[in-house]
Amino acid sequence: MLVLLRRGVPEAAAGEVAVRLRMFGVAVHRTDHEGRVRLCAVGDGVPVAWDDVRRWPEVESVERIPVPFKLVSRAFHPHPTLISVGRCAIGSDQLALMAGPCAIEGEEQAFTIAAAVAAAGATVMRGGAYKPRTSPYSFQGLGEEGLRIMRRAADAHGLAVVSEVMDGQQVPLVARYADVLQVGARNMQNYSLLKEVGLSQKPVLLKRGLAATIEEWLMAAEHVLSQGNAQVILCERGIRTFETYTRNTLDLNAIPVVKELSHLPVIVDPSHGTGIRDKVAPMARAAIAAGADGLIIEVHHDPDHALSDGPQSLYPQQFAELVAQIRTIAAVVGRRV
Ligand code: PEP
Ligand code: MN
């Protein structure tokens, strides 16, 4: 339920309304919008005397939020959420450009790629240290050593770090090195992991599951927000369809749909979305034209020898050319790099 308080209700009284609501047994989240306090009361099957609440003097209205993702919805939180990551406020006019290798492979690789993507205009370095691979015999990532290397490479070039966390117990370790915790597509419905990243204070990059509907994806985000962490960046990375010419089908419909339903920023991963190097740039351009808040792109200086996802990795020069094009498109849609 959305409990809208009257304009000018003193802070202490607003706090008291939240306490009284909690005494019914619901969880209460708050946001302030246009000088008014909005409280979202959540809790399935908890009996609340809503007719009494409507008569409380501080309360202007009580409405049902008509979607299952309550905290994620614009109905609760009408204004866009901005998430500070390094030098970028994700969700603002400035587009978030995240780039780097699929996996951190070693010092030289990480430093070379960090230098290249920073020079091209990225503000966040991506790179996996814990890799969810289809085959147990494929490279699984360097683990903590990979995180250590990536942190140093990113710091050397003024970049923030996004890296994947594969299970709940890994959260404190990955959070020591990364600025953003990535939840991968395969883990979008790993609810114990969503709970742990929700309890952390770090921004979360939540990838859409391979076969997840937009509603399931937003419900996954709701798990994170319900734990008190509202810093969720949604990432469209392609879904599984009957098409086989591309690795996945990048669902750019999701951008305007999510923008209408939710206040959370949404970025696009055209690398996993297409799986093919020369298809990455066109889809990256389309994503920005469609209103995405940023991009996450795989870049490798020697993709033929990459330990994962070489065929979809851009050469540094290609990434730099793409950023120049994105700059032009950004201006058309009222954004900037
Ligand atoms: C990745 O970012 O390298 C990755 C494994 O992504 P996804 O979870 O989208 O497959
Ligand atoms: Mn990858």
Residue nearest to atom 2 of ligand 1 (CA): 102
- pTM for the model: 0.97
Phi, psi of 304 (to 5 degrees): -65, -25
User: How many Å apart are CA 90 and CA 97, to the nearest integer?
Assistant: 9
For position 134, what pLDDT does the model report?
A: 93
**What's the Cα-to-Cα distance from 73 to each of 33, 40, 48, 65, 274, rounded to whole Å?**
14, 10, 22, 8, 29
* CA–CA distance, 319 with 20 (Å, rounded to integer): 54
Query: Which amino acid belongs to residue 112?
Result: T
Neighbours of 334 (CB within 10 A): 8
- Distance (angstroms) between ligand 2 centre and the Cα of 102 equals 4
Question: Best substitution site from 102, 234, 240, 274 to test ligand 1's pocket, by max atoms within 8 Å of Cβ?
Answer: 102
Which residues of the chain register pLDDT less than 70?
Answer: none
| Residue-level pLDDT at 156 | 98
CA 240 to chain centre: 20
- pLDDT, one tens digit per residue, over 75-91 is 999 999 999 999 999 99
Over residues 42-59, the pLDDT tens digits come to 998 889 999 999 999 999
- Terminal CA-to-CA distance of the chain, rounded, Å? 38
User: Which residue has a Cα nearest atom 8 of ligand 1?
Assistant: 184
Residue owning the nearest CA to atom 9 of ligand 1? 185
What pLDDT sits at residue 45?
85
Q: Whose CA is nearest to atom 10 of ligand 1?
A: 185
Pocket of ligand 1, beta carbon within 6 A: 102, 128, 132, 184-186, 207, 237, 272
Strands of the chain, DSSP E: 2-5, 27-33, 36-42, 59-63, 83-85, 88-90, 96-100, 124-126, 160-164, 180-183, 204-207, 232-236, 266-268, 294-298
DSSP secondary structure, 160-196, as one string: EEEEE--SGGGHHHHHHH-SEEEEPGGGTT-HHHHHH
Position 8 scores a pLDDT of 94
Angle 140-162-74 from CA coordinates, rounded to 5°: 125
Task: Give the residue whose CA is nearest to atom 1 of ligand 1.
Answer: 102
Helix axes 214-226, 191-199, angle to 10 degrees: 40
For 59, 97, 117, 243, 245, the CA distances from 121, given in Å and listed in that order, are 48, 7, 6, 33, 31
8 A C-beta contact, residue 248 and residue 293 = no
pLDDT at 85: 98
**Distance of CA 309 from the midpoint of ligand 2 (Å):** 5
Q: What does the pLDDT look like over 112-150, one tens digit per residue?
A: 999 999 999 999 999 999 999 999 999 999 999 999 999
Kindly write down the DSSP assignment for every residue of 24-68, as one continuous string.
TT-EEEEEEETTEEEEEEE-TT----HHHHHHSTTEEEEE--SSS
| CA–centroid distance, residue 272 to ligand 2 (Å) | 6
